[in-house]
Structure 1
Amino acid sequence: MSVVSRQDAADAATGARDAGGGDALRLSDIHMTFRSRGRRRREVVAVDGVSVSVGRGEIVGLVGESGSGKSTLGRVMAGLQVPDSGTVTIDGTAYQGRRGITPGFHGAVQMVFQSPAASLNPKMTIRSILGYAARRAGVPRDGVGSAVSAALEEVGVTPPDRFLGRFPHELSGGQQQRVALARALLHRPAYLVADEPTSALDVSVRVQIIKLIREIQAHHRMGILFITHDLSVVRALAQRALVMYRGDIVEEGDIDDVFARPQHEYTRRLLGSTPQLVPPQDAA
């Protein structure tokens, strides 16, 4: 699989939209409030009337500090939480609303989590984890083995036979995250929600996973919502940026515009807090 540049991916996404397909995963007016129980009841508004979209063949970066609501928004987009109000549509078809999630949603949208170790059942082997996912995705029983091996090959866990009998704790963090990606790919999703998938990894492994996600996105022409607090990752990977603050999207735009001409004070503060490399001759 060849490496695809961010500009190439952006051109592909623009071409798909210009062709009139209009394929997108859309969240409309999403509200999500968490309420604590007990004598002192508290309410925390995690998502406050947010409307966003991710087009097919597009990577959208969602950035914000911890507690801004970005992970909650991602879980709503992936169908793992039902919002208090608002709708989720895929290519114009509503899949999620007040009555919950309708059949077929999870095949179209998959999620990869921040901690691969926590998202993989520690009591199951890699063969069992991926075999279960393949059967849930509708792969015929006699084709499960080959589908699992092909998924591992695609994410660079090779040769598959060396890993199928292992448990998650016997793999490195990078290998675990690759297995999590393979599990998502077995469903052949149209959209992927990646919630801080590189933050728990070493820097060198992080670069490899980012490169892999870009290649997977280009190969399958899927739309990806990439959630992170790392602005450098968003700039390297995404075509569009969403900035979330206290449950709301305060800025949205083309990645270069947001970085070069931020309109919201919070975005400017985020950019100002990003470490910059200072050339030795300029260092005081």
Structure 2
Amino acid sequence: MTDPATDLATETFIAHRNLLFTVAYEMLGSAADAEDVLQETWLRWVKADLELVRDQRAYLVRITTRQALNRLRTMQRRREAYVGQWLPEPLLTAPDVAEDIELAESMSMAMLLVLETLSPTERAVFVLREVFDVGYDEIAEAVDKTPAAVRQIAHRARKHVDARRPRATASASVTRAAVESFRRAIESGNPQELLDVLAPEIVLLSDGGGVKRAALRPIVGADKVVRFYLGGSAKAGVAIACEHTVLNGSPALAVHLDGELDGVMALHVEDTRITGLYYVRNPEKLTRLESATPLTLR
């Protein structure tokens, strides 16, 4: 016979799983680590006495936050040894994520990279407060701080993020048009077409993880970005094909070289031009592209 308490714990965990994954991913920028955090959360949740838990959702978020904080501190040491630029692990997302403007913005590559500049506790507080609208008392329990301390941390983190977050993204239709123009320019190999769609101050970050070729430092400026892309592909003599996709709630491209997936490219568009390119080539980060990952703020 099955244990009724275990059945109830399982049902509750499944009901909130998408939320818990979203919390963990927002804190870590890694789907693989977020899944590990959920496994650790489940092991602690199934041992809890549910009769003593007043708010099961809050309790689960608290466990997830604590486990994600532990994982984040460990990941910081790993990232110090990472070869080249580190980019978040991209997620294939469903259309409903793109329709939720708040969720899409918080999940974007640009925003996740801003969150990387926060300390682990600042990131946890910012994510819970600004993204998931969790109360200060509840956050205090999750991060083992007083509510007053959490308010101060939230204020400091908000100022830090506001000073670094990208300007407002262009509308969905303008973004799609810019992505399509970029796709055509990449496939045609026409440098002027590329220059027309790239902002002069564009920044390119590429992540090969030491496995695939990537720029070790950011490439800044439209001319340099064009040389990086067209020079590399021309020397290699490969055929480039780009396929439209949606990553982290935003239009993106899957890049194929000679018919094989080479990586995925997230883009940030302001006005009508691309100001940010995030090219993930590390094969270990291309495992969540077969099916959409369900995400939610609630």
- Shorter-chain TM range is under 0.3
Q: TM-score, normalised by structure 1?
A: 0.22
Rg larger for: 2
- Relative to its length, the structure with more strand (as a share) is 1
- Relative to its length, the structure with more helix (as a share) is 2
